[in-house]
Protein backbone atom coordinates (compact mmCIF):
# COMPACT_ATOMS: atom_id res chain seq x y z
CA UNK A 1 0.00 0.00 0.00
CA UNK A 2 1.35 3.43 -0.91
CA UNK A 3 2.08 6.11 1.67
CA UNK A 4 0.86 9.68 1.76
CA UNK A 5 3.71 12.05 1.01
CA UNK A 6 4.58 15.59 1.96
CA UNK A 7 2.76 16.71 -1.20
CA UNK A 8 -0.50 15.47 0.37
CA UNK A 9 0.02 17.46 3.58
CA UNK A 10 -1.29 20.92 4.37
CA UNK A 11 1.88 22.48 5.75
CA UNK A 12 1.44 26.19 5.01
CA UNK A 13 2.19 28.17 8.15
CA UNK A 14 2.52 24.99 10.22
CA UNK A 15 5.44 23.65 12.24
CA UNK A 16 6.77 20.55 10.48
CA UNK A 17 9.02 18.08 12.26
CA UNK A 18 11.24 16.69 9.51
CA UNK A 19 13.24 13.57 10.42
CA UNK A 20 16.35 13.49 8.24
CA UNK A 21 19.35 11.17 8.20
CA UNK A 22 22.34 13.47 8.60
CA UNK A 23 24.53 10.75 10.09
CA UNK A 24 27.48 11.72 7.90
CA UNK A 25 31.26 11.38 8.31
CA UNK A 26 32.94 14.38 9.98
CA UNK A 27 36.69 15.02 9.73
CA UNK A 28 38.48 18.02 11.24
CA UNK A 29 35.16 19.67 11.94
CA UNK A 30 33.98 19.41 8.32
CA UNK A 31 31.51 17.10 6.58
CA UNK A 32 33.53 14.64 4.49
CA UNK A 33 30.61 13.22 2.48
CA UNK A 34 27.46 15.34 2.14
CA UNK A 35 25.47 12.94 -0.09
CA UNK A 36 22.85 12.24 2.61
CA UNK A 37 22.44 15.95 3.27
CA UNK A 38 22.01 16.71 -0.42
CA UNK A 39 19.49 13.87 -0.74
CA UNK A 40 17.07 15.62 1.65
CA UNK A 41 17.38 19.06 0.04
CA UNK A 42 14.32 18.61 -2.25
CA UNK A 43 12.04 17.92 0.74
CA UNK A 44 13.47 20.78 2.78
CA UNK A 45 13.11 23.22 -0.10
CA UNK A 46 9.58 22.03 -0.82
CA UNK A 47 8.51 22.67 2.78
CA UNK A 48 10.14 26.11 2.87
CA UNK A 49 8.48 27.03 -0.44
CA UNK A 50 5.14 25.98 1.07
CA UNK A 51 5.79 28.49 3.86
CA UNK A 52 6.16 25.87 6.57
CA UNK A 53 8.24 26.20 9.72
CA UNK A 54 10.83 23.44 9.32
CA UNK A 55 12.30 21.76 12.40
CA UNK A 56 14.98 19.22 11.48
CA UNK A 57 15.68 16.16 13.63
CA UNK A 58 18.66 13.86 13.15
CA UNK A 59 21.23 11.75 14.94
CA UNK A 60 24.98 11.64 14.40
CA UNK A 61 27.19 8.74 15.42
CA UNK A 62 26.67 6.65 18.54
CA UNK A 63 27.11 8.87 21.60
CA UNK A 64 25.15 6.35 23.71
CA UNK A 65 22.92 8.86 25.45
CA UNK A 66 25.71 11.27 26.40
CA UNK A 67 26.79 14.66 25.08
CA UNK A 68 29.86 14.09 22.92
CA UNK A 69 31.34 17.27 21.47
CA UNK A 70 32.58 15.57 18.30
CA UNK A 71 29.03 14.35 17.62
CA UNK A 72 27.44 17.78 17.65
CA UNK A 73 25.57 18.80 14.50
CA UNK A 74 27.31 22.16 13.98
CA UNK A 75 29.34 20.93 11.00
CA UNK A 76 26.23 19.43 9.45
CA UNK A 77 24.26 22.65 9.88
CA UNK A 78 27.15 24.60 8.36
CA UNK A 79 27.17 22.36 5.28
CA UNK A 80 23.37 22.50 4.97
CA UNK A 81 23.50 26.29 5.27
CA UNK A 82 25.89 26.36 2.32
CA UNK A 83 23.65 24.13 0.22
CA UNK A 84 20.52 26.12 1.03
CA UNK A 85 22.38 29.46 0.89
CA UNK A 86 20.60 30.34 4.09
CA UNK A 87 21.73 30.02 7.72
CA UNK A 88 20.46 26.95 9.59
CA UNK A 89 20.82 27.44 13.36
CA UNK A 90 21.23 24.50 15.75
CA UNK A 91 19.77 24.32 19.25
CA UNK A 92 22.03 23.58 22.20
CA UNK A 93 19.97 20.49 23.00
CA UNK A 94 17.02 18.60 21.53
CA UNK A 95 15.04 19.37 24.70
CA UNK A 96 14.70 22.22 27.17
CA UNK A 97 13.28 25.71 27.56
CA UNK A 98 15.86 27.21 25.21
CA UNK A 99 14.81 24.85 22.44
CA UNK A 100 11.10 25.52 23.04
CA UNK A 101 11.72 29.28 22.96
CA UNK A 102 13.75 29.02 19.73
CA UNK A 103 10.97 27.06 18.06
CA UNK A 104 8.37 29.51 19.31
CA UNK A 105 10.22 32.40 17.63
CA UNK A 106 10.31 30.72 14.23
CA UNK A 107 8.22 32.23 11.46
CA UNK A 108 6.81 30.52 8.35
CA UNK A 109 9.56 29.89 5.81
CA UNK A 110 12.26 29.56 8.51
CA UNK A 111 14.29 26.52 9.55
CA UNK A 112 15.94 25.19 12.70
CA UNK A 113 17.89 22.02 13.53
CA UNK A 114 17.62 20.21 16.85
CA UNK A 115 20.88 19.02 18.39
CA UNK A 116 21.81 15.33 18.08
CA UNK A 117 18.83 13.26 19.24
CA UNK A 118 21.08 10.46 20.47
CA UNK A 119 22.55 12.68 23.17
CA UNK A 120 19.44 11.33 24.93
CA UNK A 121 19.24 7.57 25.54
CA UNK A 122 15.46 7.97 25.37
CA UNK A 123 15.72 8.36 21.58
CA UNK A 124 16.93 4.83 20.86
CA UNK A 125 14.74 3.45 23.67
CA UNK A 126 11.66 4.96 21.98
CA UNK A 127 10.73 6.50 25.32
CA UNK A 128 7.10 7.74 25.14
CA UNK A 129 7.76 10.89 27.17
CA UNK A 130 10.71 11.83 24.93
CA UNK A 131 8.55 11.23 21.86
CA UNK A 132 5.73 13.31 23.35
CA UNK A 133 8.07 16.24 23.99
CA UNK A 134 9.45 16.12 20.45
CA UNK A 135 5.92 15.86 19.02
CA UNK A 136 4.90 18.97 20.96
CA UNK A 137 7.31 20.99 18.81
CA UNK A 138 5.35 20.33 15.62
CA UNK A 139 1.94 19.99 14.02
CA UNK A 140 2.93 17.74 11.12
CA UNK A 141 5.57 15.01 10.90
CA UNK A 142 7.55 14.12 7.77
CA UNK A 143 10.08 11.29 7.58
CA UNK A 144 12.82 11.65 4.96
CA UNK A 145 15.32 9.44 6.81
CA UNK A 146 15.12 6.12 4.98
CA UNK A 147 18.49 5.11 6.45
CA UNK A 148 16.88 4.93 9.92
CA UNK A 149 13.51 3.49 8.85
CA UNK A 150 14.48 0.03 10.14
CA UNK A 151 14.95 1.43 13.66
CA UNK A 152 12.00 1.75 16.05
CA UNK A 153 13.25 4.90 17.79
CA UNK A 154 11.34 7.80 19.29
CA UNK A 155 11.88 10.09 16.29
CA UNK A 156 11.01 7.40 13.73
CA UNK A 157 8.12 5.59 15.43
CA UNK A 158 7.11 7.38 18.63
CA UNK A 159 6.62 10.88 17.20
CA UNK A 160 4.72 9.91 14.02
CA UNK A 161 2.29 7.93 16.17
CA UNK A 162 1.29 11.27 17.74
CA UNK A 163 1.10 13.51 14.65
CA UNK A 164 -0.18 13.35 11.07
CA UNK A 165 2.76 11.51 9.48
CA UNK A 166 3.92 11.66 5.86
CA UNK A 167 6.78 10.39 3.73
CA UNK A 168 9.32 12.91 2.47
CA UNK A 169 10.32 13.08 -1.19
CA UNK A 170 13.47 11.05 -0.57
CA UNK A 171 11.55 8.42 1.41
CA UNK A 172 9.00 8.25 -1.40
CA UNK A 173 11.76 7.72 -3.98
CA UNK A 174 13.42 4.99 -1.89
CA UNK A 175 10.17 3.06 -1.42
CA UNK A 176 9.26 3.36 -5.11
CA UNK A 177 12.62 2.22 -6.47
CA UNK A 178 13.19 -0.63 -4.01
CA UNK A 179 9.61 -1.83 -4.37
CA UNK A 180 10.11 -1.94 -8.12
CA UNK A 181 12.94 -4.45 -7.61
CA UNK A 182 10.64 -6.75 -5.68
CA UNK A 183 7.40 -6.32 -7.59
CA UNK A 184 8.08 -5.61 -11.24
CA UNK A 185 11.76 -5.51 -12.25
CA UNK A 186 12.60 -5.39 -15.93
CA UNK A 187 14.15 -8.74 -16.79
CA UNK A 188 16.70 -10.22 -16.79
CA UNK A 189 17.31 -9.05 -13.22
CA UNK A 190 20.83 -9.40 -11.75
CA UNK A 191 21.97 -8.78 -8.18
CA UNK A 192 25.62 -8.01 -7.42
CA UNK A 193 26.19 -8.72 -3.73
CA UNK A 194 29.48 -8.14 -1.93
CA UNK A 195 30.75 -6.99 1.43
CA UNK A 196 32.61 -8.64 4.25
CA UNK A 197 30.10 -10.99 5.87
CA UNK A 198 27.61 -13.42 4.40
CA UNK A 199 25.66 -13.40 7.69
CA UNK A 200 24.22 -9.97 6.90
CA UNK A 201 23.21 -11.00 3.37
CA UNK A 202 21.71 -14.51 3.71
CA UNK A 203 18.15 -13.26 4.24
CA UNK A 204 18.23 -10.89 1.27
CA UNK A 205 19.74 -13.60 -0.97
CA UNK A 206 16.97 -16.00 0.02
CA UNK A 207 14.20 -13.44 -0.47
CA UNK A 208 15.51 -12.31 -3.86
CA UNK A 209 15.97 -15.91 -5.02
CA UNK A 210 12.49 -16.03 -6.60
CA UNK A 211 12.92 -12.64 -8.24
CA UNK A 212 16.50 -12.58 -9.53
CA UNK A 213 17.83 -14.34 -12.64
CA UNK A 214 21.52 -14.00 -11.76
CA UNK A 215 23.55 -13.48 -8.58
CA UNK A 216 27.15 -12.23 -8.77
CA UNK A 217 28.95 -12.69 -5.46
CA UNK A 218 32.19 -11.00 -4.37
CA UNK A 219 33.88 -9.53 -1.33
CA UNK A 220 34.74 -11.38 1.86
CA UNK A 221 31.34 -13.07 1.88
CA UNK A 222 32.28 -15.02 -1.27
CA UNK A 223 34.84 -16.97 0.79
CA UNK A 224 32.10 -18.68 2.76
CA UNK A 225 30.46 -19.82 -0.48
CA UNK A 226 33.80 -21.08 -1.83
CA UNK A 227 34.24 -23.17 1.32
CA UNK A 228 30.66 -24.45 0.93
CA UNK A 229 31.76 -25.72 -2.48
CA UNK A 230 34.66 -27.62 -0.94
CA UNK A 231 37.49 -25.12 -1.48
CA UNK A 232 39.95 -23.66 1.04
CA UNK A 233 40.50 -19.92 1.46
CA UNK A 234 43.76 -19.65 3.41
CA UNK A 235 43.77 -16.87 6.02
CA UNK A 236 40.84 -15.09 4.36
CA UNK A 237 37.83 -13.78 6.25
CA UNK A 238 35.50 -16.74 6.75
CA UNK A 239 32.31 -17.28 8.72
CA UNK A 240 32.59 -20.97 9.52
CA UNK A 241 29.23 -20.99 11.27
CA UNK A 242 27.57 -19.82 8.04
CA UNK A 243 28.96 -22.43 5.64
CA UNK A 244 25.80 -24.54 5.97
CA UNK A 245 23.67 -21.46 5.20
CA UNK A 246 25.80 -20.74 2.13
CA UNK A 247 25.39 -24.35 0.97
CA UNK A 248 21.63 -24.03 1.38
CA UNK A 249 21.59 -20.87 -0.76
CA UNK A 250 23.68 -22.56 -3.45
CA UNK A 251 21.32 -25.54 -3.50
CA UNK A 252 18.28 -23.26 -3.74
CA UNK A 253 19.80 -21.39 -6.68
CA UNK A 254 20.45 -24.66 -8.49
CA UNK A 255 16.94 -25.96 -7.78
CA UNK A 256 15.34 -22.74 -9.06
CA UNK A 257 17.57 -22.31 -12.09
CA UNK A 258 19.13 -19.09 -10.80
CA UNK A 259 22.67 -18.44 -12.03
CA UNK A 260 25.01 -18.02 -9.04
CA UNK A 261 28.45 -16.73 -10.02
CA UNK A 262 31.38 -16.89 -7.59
CA UNK A 263 34.94 -15.66 -8.25
CA UNK A 264 36.93 -17.93 -10.56
CA UNK A 265 40.16 -16.08 -9.77
CA UNK A 266 41.09 -13.79 -6.90
CA UNK A 267 43.73 -11.36 -5.73
CA UNK A 268 45.45 -12.65 -2.60
CA UNK A 269 47.83 -10.80 -0.28
CA UNK A 270 50.31 -11.70 2.45
CA UNK A 271 48.76 -8.99 4.64
CA UNK A 272 45.57 -6.99 4.22
CA UNK A 273 47.42 -3.67 4.27
CA UNK A 274 48.56 -1.01 1.83
CA UNK A 275 51.76 -2.03 0.02
CA UNK A 276 51.49 -5.72 0.94
CA UNK A 277 52.75 -8.40 -1.45
CA UNK A 278 49.88 -9.66 -3.59
CA UNK A 279 49.20 -11.83 -6.62
CA UNK A 280 46.40 -13.34 -8.73
CA UNK A 281 45.53 -17.04 -8.28
CA UNK A 282 42.66 -19.35 -9.29
CA UNK A 283 39.91 -19.44 -6.64
CA UNK A 284 40.55 -23.16 -6.08
CA UNK A 285 44.27 -22.58 -5.40
CA UNK A 286 44.34 -19.99 -2.63
CA UNK A 287 47.59 -20.39 -0.62
CA UNK A 288 47.23 -21.32 3.03
CA UNK A 289 49.05 -18.26 4.37
CA UNK A 290 47.42 -15.67 2.07
CA UNK A 291 44.13 -13.74 2.22
CA UNK A 292 41.65 -12.98 -0.56
CA UNK A 293 41.45 -9.20 -1.01
CA UNK A 294 39.72 -8.74 -4.40
CA UNK A 295 38.22 -10.51 -7.38
CA UNK A 296 40.63 -11.24 -10.23
CA UNK A 297 40.57 -10.06 -13.87
CA UNK A 298 38.93 -13.24 -15.19
CA UNK A 299 36.14 -12.82 -12.65
CA UNK A 300 35.70 -9.17 -13.60
CA UNK A 301 35.31 -10.25 -17.22
CA UNK A 302 32.89 -13.07 -16.33
CA UNK A 303 30.79 -10.69 -14.22
CA UNK A 304 30.65 -8.15 -17.06
CA UNK A 305 29.53 -10.84 -19.51
CA UNK A 306 26.87 -12.10 -17.09
CA UNK A 307 25.49 -8.56 -16.77
CA UNK A 308 25.34 -7.99 -20.51
CA UNK A 309 21.68 -9.07 -20.97
CA UNK A 310 20.48 -7.56 -17.66
CA UNK A 311 17.80 -4.88 -17.78
CA UNK A 312 17.76 -4.41 -13.99
CA UNK A 313 20.75 -4.56 -11.62
CA UNK A 314 20.90 -4.18 -7.85
CA UNK A 315 24.36 -3.70 -6.33
CA UNK A 316 25.17 -3.83 -2.63
CA UNK A 317 28.65 -4.21 -1.17
CA UNK A 318 32.24 -3.92 -2.45
CA UNK A 319 33.88 -6.82 -4.28
CA UNK A 320 37.20 -6.51 -2.42
CA UNK A 321 38.94 -4.67 0.40
CA UNK A 322 37.98 -1.38 -1.19
CA UNK A 323 39.45 0.81 1.56
CA UNK A 324 42.94 -0.29 0.43
CA UNK A 325 43.28 1.32 -3.03
CA UNK A 326 45.32 -1.56 -4.49
CA UNK A 327 42.55 -3.99 -3.60
CA UNK A 328 39.68 -1.90 -5.00
CA UNK A 329 40.11 -2.67 -8.71
CA UNK A 330 37.18 -5.10 -8.83
CA UNK A 331 34.84 -2.69 -7.09
CA UNK A 332 35.87 0.23 -9.30
CA UNK A 333 35.49 -1.91 -12.43
CA UNK A 334 31.95 -2.82 -11.36
CA UNK A 335 31.13 0.84 -10.70
CA UNK A 336 32.30 1.86 -14.19
CA UNK A 337 30.51 -1.05 -15.83
CA UNK A 338 27.20 -0.31 -14.11
CA UNK A 339 27.48 3.40 -14.95
CA UNK A 340 27.88 2.48 -18.61
CA UNK A 341 24.88 0.15 -18.47
CA UNK A 342 22.72 2.73 -16.68
CA UNK A 343 23.51 5.28 -19.39
CA UNK A 344 22.44 2.70 -21.97
CA UNK A 345 19.04 2.28 -20.31
CA UNK A 346 19.53 -0.50 -17.73
CA UNK A 347 17.85 0.18 -14.38
CA UNK A 348 20.68 0.26 -11.83
CA UNK A 349 19.94 0.60 -8.10
CA UNK A 350 22.86 0.84 -5.68
CA UNK A 351 22.80 0.56 -1.89
CA UNK A 352 25.51 0.23 0.76
CA UNK A 353 28.10 2.71 1.96
CA UNK A 354 31.19 1.27 0.26
CA UNK A 355 29.42 0.71 -3.06
CA UNK A 356 28.26 4.31 -3.02
CA UNK A 357 31.75 5.44 -1.93
CA UNK A 358 33.20 3.81 -5.05
CA UNK A 359 30.72 5.69 -7.22
CA UNK A 360 31.47 8.94 -5.41
CA UNK A 361 35.22 8.45 -5.86
CA UNK A 362 34.76 7.97 -9.60
CA UNK A 363 32.11 10.73 -9.88
CA UNK A 364 29.56 8.25 -11.21
CA UNK A 365 26.65 8.66 -8.78
CA UNK A 366 24.65 10.81 -11.19
CA UNK A 367 24.76 8.01 -13.77
CA UNK A 368 22.78 5.54 -11.64
CA UNK A 369 19.01 5.13 -11.70
CA UNK A 370 18.83 5.29 -7.91
CA UNK A 371 21.34 5.48 -5.05
CA UNK A 372 19.82 4.26 -1.80
CA UNK A 373 20.76 6.27 1.29
CA UNK A 374 20.13 3.32 3.60
CA UNK A 375 22.53 0.39 3.67
CA UNK A 376 20.93 -1.68 6.43
CA UNK A 377 17.46 -0.31 5.72
CA UNK A 378 17.62 -1.16 2.01
CA UNK A 379 18.76 -4.71 2.80
CA UNK A 380 15.96 -5.25 5.32
CA UNK A 381 13.46 -3.84 2.83
CA UNK A 382 14.69 -6.30 0.20
CA UNK A 383 14.46 -9.11 2.75
CA UNK A 384 10.72 -8.45 2.68
CA UNK A 385 10.51 -6.94 6.14
CA UNK A 386 8.08 -4.20 7.07
CA UNK A 387 10.26 -1.34 8.30
CA UNK A 388 8.79 0.31 11.43
CA UNK A 389 9.67 3.85 10.30
CA UNK A 390 7.66 3.31 7.10
CA UNK A 391 4.81 1.26 8.57
CA UNK A 392 3.83 4.11 10.92
CA UNK A 393 3.34 6.62 8.08
CA UNK A 394 -0.18 7.25 6.80
CA UNK A 395 -1.45 5.01 4.01
CA UNK A 396 -2.81 6.43 0.82
CA UNK A 397 -6.51 5.45 0.62
CA UNK A 398 -7.16 2.63 -1.84
CA UNK A 399 -9.51 3.68 -4.68
CA UNK A 400 -12.76 1.61 -4.70
CA UNK A 401 -11.89 -0.12 -7.99
CA UNK A 402 -8.40 -1.07 -6.81
CA UNK A 403 -9.89 -2.51 -3.64
CA UNK A 404 -11.97 -4.97 -5.72
CA UNK A 405 -9.03 -6.30 -7.72
CA UNK A 406 -8.12 -9.97 -7.55
CA UNK A 407 -5.48 -11.01 -5.02
CA UNK A 408 -1.88 -10.46 -6.08
CA UNK A 409 0.08 -13.35 -7.56
CA UNK A 410 2.21 -15.55 -5.32
CA UNK A 411 5.42 -13.81 -6.38
CA UNK A 412 4.04 -10.38 -5.56
CA UNK A 413 2.59 -11.49 -2.26
CA UNK A 414 6.14 -11.83 -0.92
CA UNK A 415 6.89 -8.15 -1.43
CA UNK A 416 6.79 -6.00 1.74
CA UNK A 417 3.46 -4.32 2.39
CA UNK A 418 5.00 -0.89 2.93
CA UNK A 419 4.07 0.82 -0.28
Residue positions annotated with a catalytic role: 36, 197, 353, 376
CA distances from 214 to 190, 192, 209, 257 (A): 5, 8, 9, 9
3-state secondary structure (DSSP) of residue 344: coil
Alpha-carbon span 381 to 343, nearest angstrom:
26
Cα separations in angstroms, 119 against 63, 70, 156, 208, 345: 6, 12, 16, 37, 45
> Is there a cis peptide before residue 201, judged by omega within 30 degrees of 0?
no
Reported as half-sphere exposure (CB side, CA atoms, 13 A), residue 11 has a value of 34
Q: Cα 239–244–247 angle (5° rounding)?
A: 105
Edge-to-edge order in the sheet of strand 53-57 = 111-113, 53-57, 15-19, 140-143, 165-167
Query: Where are the extended beta strands (E) located within 12-152?
Result: 15-19, 26-27, 30-31, 53-57, 111-113, 140-143
- C-alpha to C-alpha distance for 388 and 403, rounded to whole angstroms: 24
- Closest by CA to 182, choosing from 350, 407, 372, 384, is 384
Instruction: Tell which phi-psi region holds residue 352, choosing left (phi > 0), alpha (psi between -120 and 50) or beta.
Output: left
Q: Which of 315, 365, 332 is nearest to 36 (CA)?
A: 365
Question: How many alpha carbons fall within 13 Å on the CB side of residue 307?
Answer: 28
In three-state secondary structure terms, 347 is strand
Span between the terminal Cα atoms of the chain, in Å: 4
Please name which of 183, 140, 145, 162 lies closest in space to residue 2, comparing C-alpha atoms.
183
Helix, strand or coil, per DSSP, at residue 143 = strand
Q: Which of 299, 367, 306 is nearest to 333 (CA)?
A: 299
Q: How far is CA 416 from CA 148, 271, 347, 412, in A?
A: 17, 42, 21, 9
What φ, ψ does residue 214 adopt, rounded to 5°?
Answer: -145, 135
Amino acid sequence: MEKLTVRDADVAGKRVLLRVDFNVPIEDGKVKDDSRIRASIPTIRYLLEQNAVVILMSHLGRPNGKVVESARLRAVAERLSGLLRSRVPVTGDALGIGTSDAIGRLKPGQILMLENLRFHGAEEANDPDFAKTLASYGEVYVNDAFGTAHRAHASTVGVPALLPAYAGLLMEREIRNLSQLLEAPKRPFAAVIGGAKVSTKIAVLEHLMTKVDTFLIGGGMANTFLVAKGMTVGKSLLEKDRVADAARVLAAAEDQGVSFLLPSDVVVAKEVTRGAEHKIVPAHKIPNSWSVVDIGPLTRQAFAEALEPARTVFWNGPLGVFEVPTFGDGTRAMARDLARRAEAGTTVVVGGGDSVAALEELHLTSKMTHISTGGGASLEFLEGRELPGIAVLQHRPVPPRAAKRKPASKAKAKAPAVR
